[in-house]
Structure 1
């Protein structure tokens, strides 16, 4: 007959083992990543201003871009809209083996002046890259989708005096 302290240890060990087994059986199986022919990618966009992350058909996608975060001319980033939505998207995407990236820029009513300003200087370009890396790490993202629409040389404005 085991001693009382040995019985308590055995009971505690059995309880821990039963708890671990119950936890393991309750966890949902890992989702399979979608495999497309010729290593094609199926990319979707989730706008920050509409839509529900629970209604995404993750099983049909390889990548999702969260739209958008906007740059400032000094290389910093404007605060992302609906950060809790982005966090939920990352959690659900990763649980379904879908890579999640941040889309930077977008149409922005045709105003690409911040991109133009930051691109014109090596210091602001460096700040921009460092801020993007920090953003990716903060939200556990898989990458960045650069969506600069449309990079052009701005025409010089001249003033005519009469």
Structure 2
């Protein structure tokens, strides 16, 4: 009797463990994917005019700046293509890394003329695919600053907003759903019909900086009497109101400060502003922003620190944004004071 029961018990135990294993195997990939989905993105803009190579351990995406609309209005021209190739080569040691070409930038024109023509749009989109395949990129980032505006010294048209939408649809059709399509956006959420491209793009990098110069903050998280034109909180709200899902928004962080021009140059990298002397560091607790004053108490510099970045990253997580981006990698110290702060705030 004992020997009869034993095989039966063993069979029951075996079936139990088999069932447990099947459940575990079925559950494990879903859990892994959920964790990956929950992880935030960190996008670093890396420029053609700097030489420093980024450390892939602290970023998930690199946006290479810049590519441009070519002189014929129907294709892409890449600044220093050999540097882009070197960035893509980082993927060999860091397979998680995504590298995109950012096309545009302040003062980069010919978008309006290209986007106004269906034929030129189509050819430009096809050339985006060529660039993606030639350089083995993970996608394209469009940095047209800004549709309908000639503030950057470029041509514009009232039809730019509508044509921007058509351009993004054309690029998506050309590169396919398997590649990333992103864009850089003004903090105020204007110029672009976000509701019309929400399902077309993967995410939006909000340029939540340059919203003021001393005596005002240029990238404050919240509003205070010292805040500039648009705060980070207001920028996110403007984009959501315009139709972009919050989970597709990426908050911009400047790795540079804005000076008063008289005592501190108007644009100063973080690594350089640390060397400034003769100024007192101040903290605006309402805006959650850093600034410096001179001996007369005058506001001379607006800038970021690891402490202000930590609060911005906490805001990103609390509000359900996708992650953070920064302009630009070379503005940081060699030790990576700011990039480590972003990484610790978003990923850890």
What is the TM-score when the length of structure 2 is the normalising length?
0.31
Residue in 2 aligned with 1:150?
146
Instruction: Structure 2: state its 5+ residue gaps.
Output: 1-34, 150-155, 159-348
Kindly tell me the number of residue pairs found equivalent between the two proteins: 116
Hey, what's the Cα distance between the residues in 2 that align with 1:155 and 1:131? Answer: 23
Greater Cα shift, 130-139 or 92-101: 92-101
Asked whether the equivalents of residues 47 and 66 of structure 2 are also in contact (C-alpha less than 8 Å), the reply is yes
Change (3 A) 1:75 1:38: same
Deviation at 1:134, TM superposition (A): 0.2
* Cα-to-partner distance string for 1:25-58 (whole Å, 9 max, x where unaligned): xxxxxxxxxx8783321000110111322xx121
- Report if aligned partners of 2:112, 2:157 keep a CA contact under 8 Å in 1: no
1:103 aligns with 2:102: yes
Structure 2 match to 1:65 = 63
TM-score by length of 1: 0.65
Which structure ranks higher in relative contact order (CA pairs < 8 Å, sequence separation ≥ 6)? 1
Q: What is the alpha-carbon root mean square deviation over aligned residues? A: 2.2
The answer to whether the 8 A contact 1:102-1:143 is kept is yes
In the TM superposition, structure 1's runs of 4+ consecutive aligned residues that sit over 2 Å from their partners are 35-39, 153-156
Match of 2:74 in 1: 75
2:41 corresponding residue in structure 1: 41
Q: Do structure 1's residue 119 and structure 2's residue 115 form an aligned pair?
A: yes
Report which of the two has the higher share of strand.
2
C-alpha displacement at 1:155, in angstroms? 6.6
Per the alignment, residue 263 of structure 2 pairs with none
Higher helix share: 1
**Offset from partner CA, 1:98-153 (integer Å, 9 cap, x none):** 10000000112xx53x0000110100000000001001100000000010000016
